[in-house]
Structure 1
Amino acid sequence: MAWNEPGKDDKNDQDPWNKNNKNNEQGPPDLDVIFKKISGFLGGLFGKKSTQGPSNNNSSSNGGKVVAIAILVIIALVWFASGWYTIKESDRGVVLRLGAYHSQVEPGLHWNPKFVDEIIPVNVEAFRTLPTSGFMLTEDENIVQVSMEIQYRIVSPEKYLFSVTDADNSLLQALDSSLRFIIGHSTMNDALTTGREVVRQETWEMLNKIIASYGLGVQILDVNLQQTRPPEQVKDAFDDAIAAQEDEERFVREAEAYEREKEPIARGQVKRIEQQARSYEEGMILKAQGDVAQFNQLLPEYQAHPEVTRQRLYLEAMEKVLSTSSKVLIDNEAGGNLTFLPLDKLMSNTSTSSTNTVVETEIETRSRADEQAGLDERAASSQRVLNSSRSTGRD
């Protein structure tokens, strides 16, 4: 008998999978039954009539509505619960509604409609670094290897995310372009030694100008020029040149320190010499004025009593001279000259300093004697003029 021919047990033979056999629990599910239940549920949900009787239709329709409402409520609760999210203190949330930028949220607990809004957190407090390096050509056609690093942070999350395709890559390209432009307008000596700070500042300024037109939403916090060095083939020669420049700067600083140390001393000496010269000038002027005043006072006395005045002046001069002299002077009236006995040379205990004093005193005595002789001559001539004037008056 074929497998599809009816047998003794029609109920069991009609089902090739033996689905109606209660003892067989391992068979596959009846797909027809499942499809009928689903179609009946959907028909009751949307008001379609069923092939069953009226009582079964009402009961299945009411039950389907209750189940549908329960499922919808559960789905709504899950959807509502899944919409809560938290933004960290250091972040800002960028809200995308149906794929387009909508708003920005602050840190804290927030809710968004799930599957409608998308939240992208962006850290706006973290300091980010971006390095660049490479071989670059200077203005004097030399090659240098330059490494630079910048620090930045995000200040406008929506611009950072949507102004350009990749903000970090755009910033890196702008940094590399700015650095190459500044190095290309600098000499190799400036880039390696004294102009490093200038290169850093000018690169910073140019980078800010470039990213301002892009609207990247970032702020440059610092630019650090890490190293500038020549190619390895000439590195030793440039190291020697840099060492020489450093020695030159050190010598210049030492010279400036020496200048600052010696200049006040020299200025003080100049002031002291000026004051001494001014004091000497004033002293000589006062002394000359005193001599003139003394001569003006002595002239009437000399004119009235010439012999007495001459003798007094002679004695005063000799008193001054002999008070510091170790010689004995003898007046030779016959010859009219003064002689002296060198007693200091006869003394064995006289030192060399005393000899020098004697010589100086002798010279001073002779000079004063000559001066006194000149005064006597002038006095005599004055007396002769006076006598002649008196005789003329008598006549």
Structure 2
Amino acid sequence: MANDPGWGNRNNEGPPDLDEVLRQFKRKINALFGKKDSGDKPPQFDSKNLPILPIIALVAIVWFATGFYIVDQGSRGVVLRFGKHVETTAEGPHWHMPYPIESVTVVNMEQVRTVEVGYRTAEGRSSRSKELRESLMLTDDENIIDIQFAVQYNLKSVEDNLFNNRSAEDSVRGVAETAIREIVGKSKMDFALYEGREEVAVRAKAIMQEILDRYKTGINVVNVTMQNAQPPEQVQAAFDDAVKAGQDLERQKNEGQAYANDVIPKARGTAARLLEEAQGYKLRVENEAKGNASRFEQVLTQYQRAPEVTRQRLYIDAQEQILSSVSKVIVDQKNGNSLLYLPLDKLMNTTNSATVGAAAAPSVPPNTVMPEIDSNSLRSRDAFRSRDRETR
């Protein structure tokens, strides 16, 4: 570098000479535009020797080149001329008058942004910090609850979002807090904390969209998600006890319902069975009554035709029915003057056995001829005959 004539004579440690640097720069410019080098004379700052037009042309080219821009997919380009909206461009390459005449702002329309209400998540961390000023709300039954939720939104009108909003995030947060407070203020505490959380989110989304459209913010609410809903920390223990009691109540209801589902079908089956048995008994009794009535009418008809024969036949049938179920003793009366011996103790034992349902054989077989004890007792014979006559 010390031997280079273009740098002039200088020490190795010292900086380059300013005159020499200007001379070298002028030499390169003249070579670029086809002018001859004037030697190593010190540069003279004469306006006639400077290439003004080429420099202006180069600056103009660079200035015009700054007007090119590209709009990505899902975005819109808003062109402003001296601060006034001129046009909105779609996806693709475009050109506008360079600054300061025109400027362009590219806005992503499809990007889903999230606003947190009632809490803040630290960037790059999973921890949350509560914002009690936003999360504490009063219910219709005058209870305070702590609600945290997130709102996801995107843009549907880039012009409204740029010219009618100072900050889209602040607008969404304010509208979201207003909508949730309106819904919670008209709801009971249990509804907002437990069974109505999904309904609260749906109603909040509808109210938010209505308010944002009314103010022409160009914002579209995509989703409202309830992150947490609980009573304040000061009464959290009491609410936990109440929740456990409610769970016990639901469990007992379910157990009772299960028991009812088990008992009621059995009871209905038993009732149906009893009804069927009663119906069968009714039919059986009716049929028996009808059969008895029909048999009596038939007997009556036969009695009217032959009363003596029918009476005798009825008597024989009755005796047959009676004697077929009792123990019998047959006595032969042809041989007179006989004293009969009746084993009453055995007959009593046989009767008792038949009463309790025993299947034992009778002590005295039926149709048995009893032995004669005394054939000279006329009085006993007459007494027996009188008894037999009374039986007939």
User: Residue 291 in 1 paired to residue 301 in 2?
Assistant: no
For residues 3-56 of structure 1, the C-alpha deviation after alignment (integer angstroms, 9 at most, x for no partner) is xxxxxxxxxxxxxxxxxxx99975598999425427xx8xxxxxxxxxxxxxxx
Q: Distance in 1 between matches of 2:269 and 2:117?
A: 57
Which position in structure 2 is the counterpart of 1:252? 253
Q: Distance in 2 between matches of 1:27 and 1:84?
A: 39
Q: Distance in 1 between matches of 2:165 and 2:322?
A: 109
TM superposition shift of 1:149: 1.5
1:113 pairs with one of 74, 97, 121: 97
**Percent identity over paired residues:** 34
Distance of aligned partners of 1:167 and 1:328 in 2 relative to their CA distance in 1, 3 Å threshold: same
Q: Distance in 1 between matches of 2:323 and 2:58?
A: 139
1:37 pairs with one of 48, 63, 66: 48
For residues 185-227 of structure 1, the C-alpha deviation after alignment (integer angstroms, 9 at most, x for no partner) is 3333433334434433433333233222122222222222222
Which position in structure 2 is the counterpart of 1:273? 274
SS at match of 1:277: helix
Residue type of the alignment partner of 1:109? P
Asked if 1 retains the 8 angstrom alpha-carbon contact of 2:327 and 2:351, the reply is no
1:85 pairs with one of 69, 72, 83: 69
More helix by share: 1
Which position in structure 2 is the counterpart of 1:354? 358
For residues 112-142 of structure 1, the C-alpha deviation after alignment (integer angstroms, 9 at most, x for no partner) is 3332443323223332221212222233333
Which position in structure 1 is the counterpart of 2:327? 328
Residue type of the alignment partner of 2:181? R
TM superposition shift of 1:298: 1.3
TM superposition shift of 1:74: 4.0
For the aligned residue pairs, the C-alpha RMSD in angstroms reads: 4.1
User: Residue 123 in 1 paired to residue 115 in 2?
Assistant: no
Which position in structure 2 is the counterpart of 1:220? 221
TM-score between the two structures when normalised by the length of structure 1? 0.62
Asked if 1 retains the 8 angstrom alpha-carbon contact of 2:81 and 2:102, the reply is yes
SS at match of 1:37: coil
SS at match of 2:111: coil
Mapping of residues 95-244 of structure 1, within 5 Å: 95-115=79-99, 116-133=101-118, 134-244=135-245
For residues 272-303 of structure 1, the C-alpha deviation after alignment (integer angstroms, 9 at most, x for no partner) is 33333333333332322222222111101122
Asked if 1 retains the 8 angstrom alpha-carbon contact of 2:150 and 2:226, the reply is yes
Query: Unpaired runs of 5+ in structure 2?
Result: 1-7, 11-16, 23-40, 119-134, 332-343, 363-392
Q: Distance in 2 between matches of 1:353 and 1:101?
A: 116
Which position in structure 1 is the counterpart of 2:36? none
Asked if 2 retains the 8 angstrom alpha-carbon contact of 1:328 and 1:342, the reply is no
Asked if 1 retains the 8 angstrom alpha-carbon contact of 2:68 and 2:95, the reply is yes
TM-score between the two structures when normalised by the length of structure 2? 0.63
Mapping of residues 9-24 of structure 1, within 5 Å: none
Asked if 2 retains the 8 angstrom alpha-carbon contact of 1:193 and 1:242, the reply is no
Residue type of the alignment partner of 1:354? A
SS at match of 2:153: strand
Which position in structure 1 is the counterpart of 2:310? 309
SS at match of 1:354: coil
Q: Distance in 2 between matches of 1:314 and 1:73?
A: 152
Distance of aligned partners of 1:274 and 1:161 in 2 relative to their CA distance in 1, 3 Å threshold: farther
Query: Unpaired runs of 5+ in structure 1?
Result: 1-21, 42-63, 333-338, 359-395
Residue type of the alignment partner of 2:105? I
Q: Distance in 1 between matches of 2:311 and 2:87?
A: 122
Asked if 2 retains the 8 angstrom alpha-carbon contact of 1:145 and 1:230, the reply is yes
Asked if 1 retains the 8 angstrom alpha-carbon contact of 2:19 and 2:42, the reply is no
Asked if 1 retains the 8 angstrom alpha-carbon contact of 2:19 and 2:43, the reply is no
Asked if 1 retains the 8 angstrom alpha-carbon contact of 2:141 and 2:188, the reply is yes
Distance of aligned partners of 1:268 and 1:154 in 2 relative to their CA distance in 1, 3 Å threshold: farther
Residue type of the alignment partner of 2:327? V
